[in-house]
Amino acid sequence: MWKSAWWVVGIVVILAAAGCDQREGSEEAASPEAERLKEEAAEAVDAARDLAEAGKDEFAQLMETNLDRLQEKMQEFRARAEAKGAEAEEEFEQQKARFDAEIAAIKEQLERVRNASGDAWEETKQAVEQTYEEIKEIYSEVAEKYD
């Protein structure tokens, strides 16, 4: 999705540059064409920005939905750990504390995703994905014992 947005912006910039490479004698004839290209370039940049914003929001919403599901399932595991006794409950609580710390970290990262732009958005997205993988790893450990 991002690659296509940047591809469109690149094409528009190239077209705009080509339109600006007019000779002095044809300045009057090129002026309406140059203005049209400039407007198209501005529209393409706006469209790419809108696409990026939609992508960020969609990504953040998907992550939050996934996190909500994992948190709900962890509550089910808590009940199962409690049923297994004090030792199992204590072990679960230690893993749950790690899980909760990662959840807090990813929620901060998701807030940064919503406010990020350009390269910062990509870097922040990668950090969120890495943290999400850590959360899934903790979840898998817990599920293995209590599912």
Whether residue 46 has pLDDT greater than 90 = no
Give the residue-averaged pLDDT of 131-145.
94
Q: How far is CA 66 from CA 34, 52, 91, 110, 133, in A?
A: 48, 21, 24, 13, 12
Whether residue 106 has pLDDT greater than 60 = yes
- 49-87 tens-digit pLDDT: 555 566 888 999 999 999 999 999 999 999 999 999 999
> What band does 114 get if pLDDT is binned at 50, 70 and 90?
confident
Question: Tokens at residue 60, please?
Answer: 């953040």
> What band does 48 get if pLDDT is binned at 50, 70 and 90?
low
Domain of 114, in residue numbers = 2-146
Mean per-residue pLDDT over the chain, rounded: 78
Higher pLDDT, 101 or 120: 101
Cα distance between residue 133 and residue 126, in whole Å: 11
**What pLDDT is attached to residue 50?**
56
Domains held by the chain: number: 1
Residues 6+ apart with CB under 8 A from 118: 52
Whether residue 39 has pLDDT greater than 50 = yes
Residue by residue, DSSP assigns 5-63 as HHHHHHHHHHHHHHHH---GGGHHHHHHHHHHHHHHHHHHHHHHHHHHHHHHHHHHHHH
Contact 136, 74 (CB under 8 A): no
**What pLDDT is attached to residue 134?**
96
Higher pLDDT, 44 or 50: 44
